[in-house]
Amino acid sequence: MERKIEILSNIIGIITNIVTLSPLIVFLLAGIWSYISTGNFFDVILAIPYYIWIVLLSISIFILIIKRKEKIKQSKLFIQRKILFSPDINITDQLDLHGTTEVAEINYNEAKWKIHKLNDSLYLYIRQSDPIESLLIEIPPKCLNCNTDLFQRLGFWGGYVWECKRCNKSIKSSDSFQIIGSHALAVAKSEIKDNRDKK
């Protein structure tokens, strides 16, 4: 039964793709046919009434919009989990063992990001690394207006939209929480280092 459903959905997918590409397919087939019969690629294409093109393009755009909306809907259908991100995998491995403490906040890409530090100075001492390198960033970020966790979905024209469910603020972002979060963490580390060195 599952196999039949899979085959059926594949067939529907192929038909939808053909219909979506129909303006291009008709253009090419008419052009080739025209070239073979008259020696000119555009004779038959120009003979096709303009309303046929309007109908084909309208159906194609309609399907593209439906498909995109479905993809956006899918991008909302999972439970968003809170994570602490560090580019250093050794630091994230220590998280469960030692826990973290929130030490700073940074406003970046129209959102508020919380910065944490690992609760184990001995571990850092043994590794002999700069404590700043052990900082982590909390994902998701929070709304600048009301300090509420933001939610992420795909944007209609590409990229992402970050939404606040409390005040309805929405932020367009070219990249995901993870990518922008890693940038925000790098900026925070650099600023904290500068402030420390000034003292």
Which 159-188 residues touch Zn ion, going by CB under 5 A?
164, 166-167, 169
Q: How far is the CB of 62 from Zn ion (least distance, A)?
A: 34
Identity of the residue, 45 or 144, whose beta carbon is nearer to Zn ion in the bound complex: 144
Identity of the residue, 153 or 169, whose beta carbon is nearer to Zn ion in the bound complex: 169
Q: Residue 106's beta-bridge partner residues?
A: 113
Q: How far is the CB of 150 from Zn ion (least distance, A)?
A: 8
Phi-psi label, residue 191: left if phi above 0, alpha if psi -120 to 50, beta otherwise: alpha
Q: How far is the CB of 144 from Zn ion (least distance, A)?
A: 8
Instruction: Determine the Cα–Cα distance for residues 172 and 155; give it in Å rounded to an integer.
Output: 8
Site string for Zn ion, 129-158 (x = CB under 5 A): --------------x-xx-x----------
When asked if residue 71 is in the footprint of Zn ion (CB under 5 A), the reply is: no
Assigned token pair, 153: 């979905």
Instruction: Determine the Cα–Cα distance for residues 163 and 76; give it in Å rounded to an integer.
Output: 11
Q: How far is the CB of 177 from Zn ion (least distance, A)?
A: 16
| 45, 51 contact by CB (below 8 A) | no
Instruction: Determine the Cα–Cα distance for residues 30 and 45; give it in Å rounded to an integer.
Output: 6
Binding site for Zn ion (CB under 5 A): 143, 145-146, 148, 164, 166-167, 169
